[in-house]
Amino acid sequence: MEQPAPGAERWPSPWGKPASGAWPPVHDESSPTHQQSASSAGAGTPLALGWLQPMGIVGLSVFNYVMRILTLGIYHFWGKTEVRQRIWAAVRLDGEPLVYTGTGRELFLGFIVIFGAVLLPLALISFAAVVVFGPQSPMIAVFQTFVYVVFFLLYGVATYRAQRYRLSRTRWRGIRGGMNGSSWRYGFVHFGTGLLIPLTLGWIIPWRSTRLQRTLISDMRFGDKAFRFTASARPLYLRFLLLWVGTIAILLIAGSAAKTILMQQFLTFDTDHPRGYTISPSGAVVIAAIALAAYFAYAIVSAWYRASQINHFAAHTHFDDATFRANVSAGGLVWLTLGNLLLVLLSLGALTAVAQVRSARYYVSHLTLDGPVALGAIAQGDDHGITKGEGLAQAFDVDAF
């Protein structure tokens, strides 16, 4: 078992919290250790990024699951906050934990606002349109298209606001994170470039992901100091070519196999059936097996591309004179994804928090910070007065944890 770093908090209670005292733990800035490290870091020193496995995650995950059921989902926001506190505290920068200061109340209020301002009005208008025009009216299709467009636009806005909220509730040595930018600007870029995906047969994807990442990283702040992002999409296109060709090949092979097997063994002509043909139960099983095999093949090919993208983006993300380095692998991503999928499915969702911790541990363990950071030159950042959680992210389920 990994031992806590010197000076790190130890969690003796079954739930992983201190048995007494404030939570999250507050670093004493007046301590000699802090003054010495702050003094040395003022001239610029490397920072070690590490992970200290939190205790009691399985019990916490099951507890949150049961409480969500008993409270008809209301406890979800408080359970999510507790999980985030554990994950943030497990991330160690220069031996000291990150601190998450968000609350379940903020997440709950954010969701209530979005539910009342967006989701409920759209649901009522949809119901009224069906009553007024009839379910078969062309106006219903027009309205549904409008709703899909609005949701697609809001999805990008939600992604940005979720990131901004989490950063605003992140502290390290008392300094807060944040973002200085417009969620609507990001949302429109996300929306406009997304419309071009089918028109370009997907070839805009590397450029689009780089453009969106640049917006997010360039708007990020720690204290009053900004992050920088210098990546170009060009190095991603060779691997994307292989991903694109591989995806087409997987679709053609799977489709051909399904057609051949069905036509020869499982598809029979039936004059009593409206479509003339019926598929036997064994044929349906074969189709499902082919689809599952195609999914796994695509997961492997796409993981190879995603690992390259993560490593490329990290190598071009900078803070002060330091640069992030990632060594994520395709095999690691496949193992992580399949393991988390099995955890969630086999536990019927009860171990969702365990899967989230596994993801955080993997990415943090494969990330380093190369170069010096002058911590003494960083002042406290602006407080943008965010009082509600990521309501849109909750509605669209795009928040990371």
Structural domain for 119, as ranges: 107-231+386-401
Q: What is the pLDDT of residues 319-340, one digit of tens each?
A: 999 999 999 999 999 999 999 9
User: Does any domain span residue 26?
Assistant: no
pLDDT, residue 2, reads 41
Mean per-residue pLDDT, 163-170: 92
CA distance 120 to 362: 38
Q: Look at residue 372 and tell me if it is in a domain.
A: no
For the cut 90, the answer to whether the pLDDT of residue 133 exceeds it is: no
**Burial class, 205, CB count within 10 angstroms (exposed 0-12 / middle 13-18 / buried 19+):** buried
Question: How sure is the predictor about 15, in pLDDT bands with cuts at 50, 70 and 90?
Answer: very low
**Residue 92, SS3?**
strand
pTM: 0.80
Q: Is the pLDDT of residue 400 over 60?
A: no
More confident residue, 42 or 214: 214
* Residue 254 counted as domain residue: no
Confidence check: pLDDT of 56 > 90 = yes
SS3 state at 279: strand
Return the SS3 of 348. coil
Closest CA to 50 of 18, 13, 94, 11: 94
Q: Assign 399 a pLDDT band (cuts: 50, 70, 90).
A: low
Q: For 188-233, write each residue's pLDDT tens digit.
A: 999 999 999 999 999 999 999 999 999 999 999 999 999 999 999 9
Task: Give tens-digit pLDDT for 71-123.
Answer: 999 999 999 999 999 999 999 999 999 999 999 999 998 888 888 888 888 88
Q: How far apart are CA 326 and CA 368, in angstroms?
A: 6
Tell me, yes or no, whether 186 lies in a domain. Answer: yes
Q: Which residue has the higher pLDDT, 89 or 41?
A: 89
List residues bridging with 170 in a β-sheet. 100
Q: How far is CA 3 from the centre of its chain?
A: 28
User: Tokens 């509605």 correspond to what residue?
Assistant: 395
What's the pLDDT score for residue 62?
A: 96
Element (H, E) at 65: helix 57-70
Q: What DSSP designation does 5 have?
A: P
Query: Does residue 307 sit in helix, strand or coil?
Result: helix
Q: Is the peptide bond before 24 cis (omega within 30 degrees of 0)?
A: yes
Backbone angles phi, psi at 185, to 5 degrees: -60, -45
Cα angle 128, 134, 136; round to 5: 130
Total number of domains constituting the chain = 1
Residue 218 is assigned to a structural domain of this protein:
yes
Q: What percent of the chain has pLDDT over 70?
A: 80
> Is the distance from CB of 294 to CB of 249 less than 8 angstroms?
no
The pLDDT value recorded for residue 262 is 67
pLDDT number for residue 8 = 39
Encode pLDDT of 299-319 as tens digits.
889 999 999 999 999 999 999
pLDDT in the model for residue 206: 97
For residue range 248-293, what is the model confidence (pLDDT) as tens digits?
A: 999 999 888 877 776 665 555 555 555 555 666 676 777 888 888 8
pLDDT of 38 reads 43
What pLDDT score does 287 carry?
80
According to DSSP H, which parts of 71-204 are helical? 76-90, 104-114, 120-133, 138-168, 183-199
Average pLDDT, the chain: 83
In a domain, 3, yes or no: no
Examine the pLDDT at 42 and tell me if it is beyond 70: no
| pLDDT at position 275 | 53
Is pLDDT of 342 > 90?
A: yes
H-type helices in 169-220, by residue range? 183-199, 205-219
pLDDT at residue number 397: 54
Structure tokens at 175: 């300094």
Rounded to whole angstroms, the Cα distance separating 47 from 374 reads 10
Domain assignment present for 287: no
**pLDDT band at 382; cut points 50, 70, 90:** confident
| Residues 87/401, Cβ–Cβ less than 8 Å | yes
The answer to whether residue 222 sits within a structural domain is yes
